[in-house]
Structure 1
């Protein structure tokens, strides 16, 4: 099946300009064009766009995505390099997830803090709360406003 830029963009839930940008940056070197110059996306191109979007959403810079795409085009001789790139990005995502989990825990604490204050009608309620009255999972945040 062949997709237009607009159809490809809708499938990926991105702006058509994003896909045009990827093409301009050389991330779609094998992309075919019609005789009129229109981009024609095939299923393989859609697969490439999905990995590009994945890598971009995980924070990989465009130049590094380009390097990955280039190593894919070079074939099997670059399997080790491609694997190393993906493993490195996976580790980066794992670190990001750990940081996000810490942020979520802080937000969970703040929700509890303000829900408790709202129920009491004042944040001053926390001046009287004993540590044993605070849920265990929030003890790390005690003495924070």
Structure 2
């Protein structure tokens, strides 16, 4: 027999918990994606420059404006 409305709160709590878990997983995936984006930029720049010296001089706070937030997110800054 269905319990109907008496289980609404339990069912809602179950979905809220699952939603929170998925949101946390998405946050971790975004962090991983930002690390991959940063590393792709890093090695593209290193290939252009012929070395990593210029990149190291920019770390951690003087990266190009489009790269800084990606670096920060991927490095827990």
Query: Structure 1-normalised TM-score?
Result: 0.39
Rg bigger for which structure? 1
- Which position in structure 1 is the counterpart of 2:48? 119
Superposed CA RMSD in Å reads 2.4
Query: Structure 2-normalised TM-score?
Result: 0.66
Q: Distance in 2 between matches of 1:106 and 1:94?
A: 18
Q: Distance in 1 between matches of 2:38 and 2:19?
A: 29
Write 1 or 2 for the structure with the bigger share of helix: 2
Aligned residues: 66
Gap regions ≥5 residues in structure 2: none
Quick one: higher RCO (CA 8 Å, sep 6+), 1 or 2? 2
Gap regions ≥5 residues in structure 1: 1-72
Q: Does the 8 A contact of 2:46 with 2:52 survive in 1?
A: yes
